């Protein structure tokens, strides 16, 4: 979803400019074809939330973002982009960020290897930032893969539990946000307790972010999402609002009849409506609210300056956005 105003972190424009330059430079160093494929999603936009988290975390030191912090931000953004290249292959998605996906334009083979290429570039940067960052980045990549594998394993399972869902989204999404914050803290030389708090903050924020993404897949329009809604249902990924709707006495039985296998476009629309008619959306929003409160608590314990305040408000603004989309659906 293209909503940069949602993520107003106190990152000076000049630092964002340096970040963009560095990001583009990392994906534009080979022949014209490799550069075009590797920079496709960078050029399609994106909120740069993860590098912004690294820069904001580092700014708790009171200094301007160092070269290491910017490189750390680029490193996490490259992992994010690589995971999207691969995710779109797995989802057979043809659109992302309102443009054609890499696999849609160049095919699966190119998308997979280009994703690997972005990961390799990311690893190169991580190694240059020292052993702690290199280990952290490798462990984070492993968590993303674990999360994605557990999601694939649960595909079409109507009995997927809430615990399994939360563990999966922590790995596939929250891990990288936690790492973005942690790298910011490490590269800025913050005290260990602050680094731990920032990591916990990023992990909680990541859960809010993914629950919002999963709710939007049910309630948002194609225009808002930049891709067709209902993709998770189509893939057999039954997220928190769907799990709750399956347990609902009113819509559950009908939904259970529909789910459990691949769906056509019309069936996806019926399933979306059934979920929207249940309390699944409010249930998921409540869960997101609990994690946003944990994130805000962690942010508050970082002090009372502009940065902790902005970090604390991030989860809340994600929630507000979720609630706006839900209201738009009801009206
Ligand atoms: C998007 O989720 C995908 C992820 C958050 C993680 C994807 C991870 C992999 C493909 C494993 C490979 C890992 C690496 C490091 C390359 P989504 O499908 O819920 O979101 P979407 O709505 O944006 O597609
Ligand atoms: Mg996907």
- Ligand 2 centre to CA of 53 (Å) is 22
| Percent over 70 (pLDDT), the chain | 97
Domains in the chain (CATH in brackets) are: 3-330 (1.10.600.10)
Is pLDDT above 70 for 7? no
Q: State the average pLDDT over residues 215-219.
A: 94
Segment 254-264 shows an average pLDDT of 95
Distance from Cα 238 to the centre of ligand 2, integer Å: 13
Q: How far is CA 300 from CA 36, 240, 255, 307, 326, in A?
A: 42, 28, 41, 10, 28
Supply the residue whose CA is at minimum distance from atom 15 of ligand 1. Answer: 141
**pLDDT tens per residue, range 151-169:** 999 999 999 999 999 999 9
pLDDT 10s digits, 20-32: 999 999 999 878 9
* Backbone dihedral region for residue 3 (phi beyond 0: left; psi -120 to 50: alpha; all else: beta): beta
* Global model pTM greater than 0.85: yes
Q: Whose CA is nearest to atom 22 of ligand 1?
A: 213
Q: Where are the alpha helices (DSSP H) in 226-276?
A: 231-235, 240-246, 252-258, 265-276
Q: Which residues of 175-212 are buried (b: 16+ CB within 10 A; e: fewer)?
A: bbbbbbbbbbbbbbebeeebbebbbbbbbbbbbbbbbb
Which whole number is the average pLDDT over 68-75?
Answer: 97
- Of 123, 144, 179, the residue with max ligand 1 atoms within 8 A of its CB, to mutate for a pocket test, comes to 144
Owner of token pair 């991030």: 314
Nearest CA to ligand 1 atom 4: 172
In short, whether 119's Cβ falls inside 6 Å of ligand 1 is yes
Closest ligand 1 atom to Cα of 210: 19
Q: Using alpha carbons only, what angle is made at residue 105 by residues 102 and 107, rounded to the nearest 5 degrees?
A: 75
Cα of 169 from ligand 1 centre, angstroms: 10
| Ligand 1 atom at shortest distance from the alpha carbon of 173 | 5
- Work out the burial of residue 158: count CB atoms within 10 Å of its CB; fewer than 13 is exposed, 13-18 middle, 19 or more buried: middle
Cα–Cα distances (Å) from 198 to 73, 90, 291, 304, in that order, read 15, 32, 14, 14
CB 30, CB 272: distance < 8 Å: no
Within 8 A by CB and 6+ apart from 291, the residues are 204, 205, 207, 208, 211, 315
C-alpha 37 to ligand 1 mean position (Å): 18
Cβ–ligand 1 distance for 173 under 6 Å, the answer: yes
């Amino acid at each position: 979803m293209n909503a940069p105003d949602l993520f107003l972190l106190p990152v000076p424009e000049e630092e964002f400019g340096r970040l963009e330059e560095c990001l583009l430079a990392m994906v534009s160093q080979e022949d014209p074809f490799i550069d075009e494929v590797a920079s496709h999603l960078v050029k399609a936009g994106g909120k740069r939330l993860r590098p912004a988290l690294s820069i904001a975390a580092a700014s708790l030191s009171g200094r301007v973002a160092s070269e290491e912090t910017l490189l750390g931000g680029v490193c996490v953004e490259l992992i994010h982009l690589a995971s999207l290249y691969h995710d779109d292959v797995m989802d057979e998605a043809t659109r992302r960020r309102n443009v054609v996906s890499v696999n849609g334009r160049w095919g699966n083979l190119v998308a997979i290897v280009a994703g690997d290429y972005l990961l390799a570039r990311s690893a190169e940067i991580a190694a240059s930032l020292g052993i702690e960052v290199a280990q952290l980045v490798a462990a984070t990549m492993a968590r993303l893969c674990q999360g994605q594998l557990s999601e694939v394993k649960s595909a079409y399972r109507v009995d997927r539990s809430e615990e399994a869902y939360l563990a999966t989204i922590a790995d596939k999404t929250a891990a990288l946000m936690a790492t973005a914050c942690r790298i910011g803290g490490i590269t800025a030389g913050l005290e260990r307790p602050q680094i731990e708090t920032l990591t916990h903050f990023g992990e909680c924020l990541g859960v809010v972010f993914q629950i919002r993404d999963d709710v939007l897949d049910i309630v948002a329009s194609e225009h808002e999402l930049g891709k067709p809604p209902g993709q998770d249902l189509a893939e057999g990924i039954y997220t928190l609002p769907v799990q709750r709707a399956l347990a609902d006495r009113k819509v559950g039985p009908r939904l259970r009849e529909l789910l459990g296998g691949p769906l056509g476009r019309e069936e996806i629309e019926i399933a979306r409506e059934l979920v929207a008619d249940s309390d699944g959306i409010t249930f998921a929003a409540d869960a997101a609210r609990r994690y946003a409160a944990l994130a805000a608590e962690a942010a508050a314990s970082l002090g009372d300056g502009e940065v902790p305040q902005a970090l604390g408000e991030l989860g809340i603004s994600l929630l507000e956005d979720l609630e706006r989309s839900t209201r738009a659906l009801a009206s």
